[in-house]
Amino acid sequence: MVEFKHKTPLIDQLETGPWTSFVSDIKREHESRMENPKGIDYQFNQECCDDLLGVLELSYDHGRTHWKHGGIVGVFGYGGGVIGRYCDQPEMFPGVAHFHTMRVNQPMGHYYKTDYLEQLMDLWERRGSGLTNMHGATGDIIFLGTSTPQLEEVFYELTHNINQDLGGSGSNLRTPSDCMGQSMCEYACYDTQEFCYNMTMEYQDELHRPAFPYKFKFKFDGCPNCCVAAIARSDLSFIGTWRDDIRIDQKAVKAYVGGELKPNAGAHAGRDWGAFDIQKEVIGLCPTECMSWDGSKLEINTPECTRCMHCINVMPRALRVGLDTGCSVLAGAKAPILDGAQMGTLIVPFIKVEEPYDEIKEKVVEPIWDWWMEEGKNRERLGELIKRQGMQKLLEVTNFKAVPQMIKEPRSNPYVFWKEDEVPGGWKRDINEFRKHHQR
């Protein structure tokens, strides 16, 4: 029996109930470290898991955190990838007195093979706490808790033995992430994994070294369902879409109507919602009223469709996204701090996503970065800069043509800040010439 130093009655309560228990899991790791059947020469405190449980119990006891921030940023020459952490009760919990995390750049789509996972686990068991986050909210693999001297050692082994780099934090490009896209999802309008990988590699310098006024995020969603939430949390989101017709298999439509196929791929199977009613559930819910069904043929008036995915989600075996695919680019999403949350704003309605993605890099990403690096205030996200200097300014620096797709509605005030060169004759006028026709 492995001993636990700390009594943890409060968090022990979280070892009951059906959902998987992180407390049981941390205990399991403690047992494994103490029993050490493989005879590992641990390079980080062997009792750290027990001490982590102890700190957590203390927090549960009085409702306050026991961590302090540390500015350690990482390994030599990198501006991100490590979050420094110190416990504010180091004598009580020596195993976690220093407990820095490392962000490891995840493989796109979060696909793994066990031989690679094994290398990562062996490394982290030896040189860290044996605890991870799979994955951090940005997408990285998080190695949770090690000491300062181990940071370089972990990095050295990662790069030399596992051919694997860290991810980003701080005022860097944050680790880009993507939905599973074409690898498993038939809705994907472009190869999210390849695009995400390519952008990650292209901008390694920006990812590892501070380049910007604040963080910057790319996220890649294969279709407007937005499974990685690009539209809500990335400074530039690339969301798959298409320009031609939704492909319709009329036989399959009939099969849905006839009840042979389950609507929404079976997503509603747990309740009796009655017989599938195509009129009510598809035609009636189409936000643009661009669909019709005459009892035998489904028609979609393509120019009116806004590609919201509803009909496709309901009848995936009958309807497929078009073939002329690409992505929409939205800019400026961010969490609420400080001026309120922002969704991404549509800045490029459609662009082809084709290797090597030069058009996107040169016409979208880089001009925007140049503008933000020049004009952005300290800790101002791109979305806030767009608000402060205006959408017009964004169009100016990117040379994008203004199109009505960019807005929900036109402005309801006429206070246009005309520029001098937009007005015939400019602003320099001669008062004497004016006075010839108007008395004082």
Q: How many residues bind ligand HEM (CB under 6 A)?
A: 22
Cis peptide before 338 (omega within 30 of 0): yes
Cβ proximity to ligand HEM: between 136 and 213 the closer is 136
Q: Please, which of residues 212-271 interact with ligand SF4 by CB under 6 A?
A: 221-223, 225-227
By the 10 Å C-beta count (0-12 exposed, 13-18 middle, 19+ buried), 211 is classed as: middle
User: Is 29 an interacting residue with respect to another protein (CB under 8 A)?
Assistant: yes
The residue written with tokens 């075996």 in the block is 317
Q: Please, which of residues 167-186 interact with another protein by CB under 8 A?
A: 169-172, 177, 179-180, 182-186
User: Is 185 an interacting residue with respect to ligand HEM (CB under 6 A)?
Assistant: yes
User: Is 229 an interacting residue with respect to ligand HEM (CB under 6 A)?
Assistant: yes
Among 1, 337, 423, 431, binds ligand HEM (CB under 6 A): 337
DSSP string, 185-253: -TT-SS-HHHHHHHHHHHTHHHHHS--SSS-B-EEEESSTT-TT-HHHH-SEEEEEEESSPPEE-HHHH
Q: Please, which of residues 187-206 interact with ligand HEM by CB under 6 A?
A: 187
Among 47, 50, 102, 124, binds another protein (CB under 8 A): 124
Among 283, 313, 393, 395, binds ligand HEM (CB under 6 A): 313
CB contact at 8 A, 397 and 376: no
Helix (H) or strand (E) holding 53: helix 48-62
The residue written with tokens 């957590």 in the block is 56
Q: How far is the CB of 414 from ligand SF4 (least distance, A)?
A: 33
What would the x/- binding string for ligand SF4 be over residues 277 to 316, using CB under 6 A? ---------xxx-xx--------x----xxxxxxx-----
Q: How far is the CB of 337 from ligand HEM (least distance, A)?
A: 5
- Axis-axis angle for helices 22-35, 48-62 (nearest 10): 150
User: Is 227 an interacting residue with respect to ligand HEM (CB under 6 A)?
Assistant: yes
Specify the stretch interacting with another protein by CB under 8 A; choose among 143-151, 391-399, 411-419, 423-431.
143-151
Listed residue (171, 165, 118) closest to 140, CA to CA: 165
- Axis-axis angle for helices 366-375, 382-389 (nearest 10): 70
Per CB under 6 A, residues contacting ligand SF4 are 179-181, 185, 187-188, 221-223, 225-227, 286-288, 290-291, 300, 305-311
